[in-house]
């Protein structure tokens, strides 16, 4: 490490930590994701271990939303250019969008956000006051035309799988919905083992990137600011970081080098309901609360890799249990146990004796939460001696119990 200048020691430490837990290095090592120049930069593929983590996260957030009044929808990843002209993206966000594709006499755009589709799903039915709040959620693809130079690993990508949701509510319900969204975000962070670096109230900046309607901005800012104060949250206010249609509460995370990014967000929007002429009983205009509990899956998993150093909580681990027969004699019993683990819903695999000594196999699977050792006694009884990742012994634990311990909690 270069030394001799002030701060060199702390520089060396933080650099070392950065290299240790860089999600790009660990992500490849753990088989989470990879990229290929033939597909293109910023377009990673999820390898089996990564797809397993991603599915666990998706299932968790889907269930968290379902238990909290959300209905899930699915919508296409592209739409006509006119859709984005109507939503305001074309005027305020075009530089981040892929250029249109011409098909026949029409132009289609890969969507830069899910909001317009959800606004049209709201509009597809008559809505009355008693239907509100209507909470729609979707884990869907969106696209950003980032330049190759700024792309890296899972943190800056061109294809994002976003955990998105929109609450359509009456104006007097908006504050409660913002607060409820923050409840979900905080519960998810606790479950995922994530600590927010800070909360940011992101406001309008100068220029035509932002819709010019000062009264509208003031109203939505006031709601977000009040909710944050009521929850006793410390937050910073920053100009120029808002969405083009409204202010946001951004929950910032930091990587080991201290670089910040937005993970979760809650936004109050009066603009798009007007652009899409959304109504409920008596011609009233709903408010749209945009929220993402865990942000884009790519950025989230990059952060999880760095936070946990690959030792994911049991419910997230790509492999939750490894079955280790002491010798070839116990292999049939170990295979039977593996089948029971898989049938019970565990992500499990076998590490047979021909892969080395028991100690070597345990070391090779040191990130796996449960190591199930099958010796002659366990083989006779049909069970295993369970060793946890930290080296502690759990004894003869039934498979069903391991499965129970590998479920996330949905408590708010
Ligand atoms: Zn939105």
pLDDT digits (tens, 9 = 90+) for 89-136: 999 899 999 999 999 999 999 999 999 999 999 999 999 999 999 999
pLDDT at 361: 98
pLDDT digits (tens, 9 = 90+) for 129-157: 999 999 999 999 999 998 877 777 898 89
- Least Cα distance to 371 among 358, 381, 355 occurs for 358
269 in helix, strand or coil? strand
pLDDT digits (tens, 9 = 90+) for 200-227: 999 999 888 899 999 999 999 999 999 9
**Cα 355 to middle of ligand 1, angstroms:** 50
**Cα 166 to middle of ligand 1, angstroms:** 6
pLDDT-above-90 percentage for the chain: 85
**Cα 111 to middle of ligand 1, angstroms:** 12
Q: Residues 114-153, buried b or exposed e (16+ Cβ, 10 A)? A: bbbbbbbbbeeeebeeeebbbbbbbbbbbbbeeeeeebeb
- Least Cα distance to 243 among 114, 82, 92 occurs for 92
**Cα 115 to middle of ligand 1, angstroms:** 4
**Cα 34 to middle of ligand 1, angstroms:** 29
Phi/psi of residue 76, nearest 5 degrees: -70, 155
Token pair for 177: 């919905």
**Cα 151 to middle of ligand 1, angstroms:** 23
Per the prediction, the chain carries an average pLDDT of: 92
The residue with greater pLDDT, 48 or 209, is: 48
pLDDT digits (tens, 9 = 90+) for 265-274: 999 999 999 9
**Cα 318 to middle of ligand 1, angstroms:** 30
Query: What is d(CA 81, CA 109) in angstroms, rounded to the nearest whole number?
Result: 6
CB proximity list for 96: less than 8 A, separation 6 or greater? 112, 144, 145, 146
**Cα 160 to middle of ligand 1, angstroms:** 14
Give the torsion sign (CA, 389, 322, 368, 357).
positive
**Cα 103 to middle of ligand 1, angstroms:** 27
**Cα 245 to middle of ligand 1, angstroms:** 10
Above 50 in pLDDT, residue 14?
no
**Cα 326 to middle of ligand 1, angstroms:** 54
**Cα 229 to middle of ligand 1, angstroms:** 24
pTM over 0.85: yes
**Cα 174 to middle of ligand 1, angstroms:** 15
pLDDT at 397: 86
**Cα 346 to middle of ligand 1, angstroms:** 35
Above 90 in pLDDT, residue 158?
yes
pLDDT digits (tens, 9 = 90+) for 357-381: 999 999 999 999 999 999 999 999 9
**Cα 197 to middle of ligand 1, angstroms:** 23
**Cα 119 to middle of ligand 1, angstroms:** 9
pLDDT at 9: 40
Question: For residue 133, is the peptide bond before it cis, meaning its omega torsion is within 30 degrees of 0?
Answer: yes
**Cα 107 to middle of ligand 1, angstroms:** 22
pLDDT at 111: 97
Above 90 in pLDDT, residue 321?
yes
**Cα 356 to middle of ligand 1, angstroms:** 52
**Cα 304 to middle of ligand 1, angstroms:** 24
pLDDT digits (tens, 9 = 90+) for 61-89: 999 999 999 999 999 999 999 999 999 99
Q: Residue 20: which pLDDT band, with cuts at 50, 70 and 90? A: low
pLDDT average, residue stretch 228-241? 96
pLDDT digits (tens, 9 = 90+) for 324-363: 999 999 999 999 999 999 999 999 999 999 999 999 999 9
pLDDT digits (tens, 9 = 90+) for 250-308: 999 998 888 999 999 999 999 999 999 999 988 999 999 999 999 999 999 999 999 99
């Amino acid at each position: 490490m270069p030394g001799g200048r002030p701060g060199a020691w702390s520089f060396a430490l933080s650099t070392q930590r950065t290299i240790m837990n860089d999600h790009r290095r660990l992500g490849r090592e753990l088989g989470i994701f990879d990229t290929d120049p033939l597909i293109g930069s910023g377009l990673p593929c999820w390898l089996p271990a990564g797809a397993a983590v991603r599915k666990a996260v998706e299932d968790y957030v889907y269930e968290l939303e379902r238990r909290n009044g959300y209905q899930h929808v699915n919508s296409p990843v592209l739409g006509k250019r006119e859709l984005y002209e109507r939503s305001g993206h074309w005027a305020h966000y075009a530089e981040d969008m892929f250029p249109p594709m011409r098909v026949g006499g029409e132009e289609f755009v890969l969507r830069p956000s899910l909001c317009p589709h959800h606004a049209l799903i709201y509009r597809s039915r008559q809505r009355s006051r008693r239907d509100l709040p209507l909470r729609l959620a979707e884990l869907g693809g969106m696209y950003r035309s980032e330049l190759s130079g700024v792309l890296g690993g899972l943190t800056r990508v061109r294809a994002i799988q976003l955990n998105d949701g929109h609450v359509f509510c009456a104006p007097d319900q908006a504050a409660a919905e913002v607060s409820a969204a923050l409840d979900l975000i905080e519960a998810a962070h606790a479950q995922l083992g994530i600590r927010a670096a800070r909360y940011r109230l992101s406001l309008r900046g100068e220029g035509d990137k932002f819709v010019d309607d000062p009264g509208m901005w003031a109203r939505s800012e006031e709601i977000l600011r009040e909710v944050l104060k009521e929850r006793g949250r410390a937050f910073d206010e920053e100009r120029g970081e808002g969405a083009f249609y409204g202010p946001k509460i951004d929950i910032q995370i930091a990587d080991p080098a201290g670089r910040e990014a937005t993970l979760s967000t809650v936004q109050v929007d009066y603009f798009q309901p007007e652009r899409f002429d959304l109504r409920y009983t008596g011609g009233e205009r709903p408010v749209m609360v945009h929220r993402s509990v865990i942000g884009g899956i790519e950025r989230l998993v990059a952060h999880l890799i760095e936070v946990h150093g690959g030792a994911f909580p049991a419910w997230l681990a790509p492999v939750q249990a490894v079955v280790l027969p002491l010798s070839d004699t116990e292999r049939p019993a170990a295979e039977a146990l593996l089948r029971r683990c898989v049938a019970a819903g565990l992500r499990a695999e076998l590490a047979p004796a021909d892969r080395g000594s028991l100690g070597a196999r345990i070391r090779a699977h040191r990130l796996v939460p449960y190591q199930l050792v099958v010796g002659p006694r366990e083989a006779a009884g049909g069970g295993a001696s369970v060793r946890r990742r930290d080296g502690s012994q759990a004894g003869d634990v039934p498979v069903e119990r391991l499965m129970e311990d590998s479920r996330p909690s949905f408590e708010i």
